[in-house]
Copies of this chain bind each other. A is one copy, B any other.
């Protein structure tokens, strides 16, 4: 019925088993990995539709695995974490996790989050064009229209806008944006971001002095809104 592939990354066999059974009985196909390393190779060969990643892995830090994955894996990643580690959750969200669950969690909660994460990506993929207020982005043809006028964007501007659009409403940190658009060695080049955000705003905002699409979150990053 569901037909989506889910990878579980957790070192505790009981937890894997528990999750596995829950998910399978909901119609998902399940793959399991015990270590971060195993997870990375599995994903490379068989990219799943969603990953459930326990942050408390033994071999390497779960955060590391997450960062590695995010260099090229773009489907949803939901992290599992123990109560105590709030900063860990924040870090993980910053490095591109889509959602998180605090252990222990109810299975209803788990399934709901999985459903919503998968729904979002499938919407995105099926939607050949997305609307954000006066902006229309056509992913297939890589064109952006504002009030039906085609905008001329450079490729960097376009990737930045796409990244924003894919994360509508969510605050994206400087580091995340820089890493995604320019690559991991550019994490500290905040000035790039400022320049390109300014350029984008000139093209997509009605009033550049009062941006409504790309909103600044001072000290943190930016947030894209459709209005």
CB atoms of B154 and A170 under 8 A apart = no
A98 to B155, CA, bound (A): 21
Tell me the smallest distance from the CB of A105 to a CB of chain B, in Å. Answer: 5
CB atoms of B93 and A139 under 8 A apart = yes
A113 to B93, CA, bound (A): 35
Given contacts A125-B106, A126-B109, contact A142 B170 (CB under 8 A): yes
Instruction: Pick the residue among B99, B126, B220 that contacts A155 (CB under 8 A).
Output: B220
Given contacts A105-B126, A126-B101, A220-B155, contact A86 B142 (CB under 8 A): no
Instruction: Pick the residue among B93, B100, B140 that contacts A93 (CB under 8 A).
Output: B140
Residues of B near A128 (CB, < 8 A) are 99-101, 109, 113
A residues with a Cβ closer than 8 A to B are 86, 89-90, 93, 98-102, 105-106, 109, 113, 125-126, 128, 139-143, 154-155, 162, 166, 169-171, 217-220
Number of copies: 2
Residues of B near A101 (CB, < 8 A) are 126, 128
**Can you pick out 15 interface pairs between chain A and chain B where the beta carbons lie within 8 Å of each other?**
A98-B140, A100-B128, A101-B126, A102-B126, A106-B126, A109-B125, A109-B126, A140-B170, A141-B169, A141-B170, A142-B170, A142-B171, A143-B170, A154-B219, A155-B220
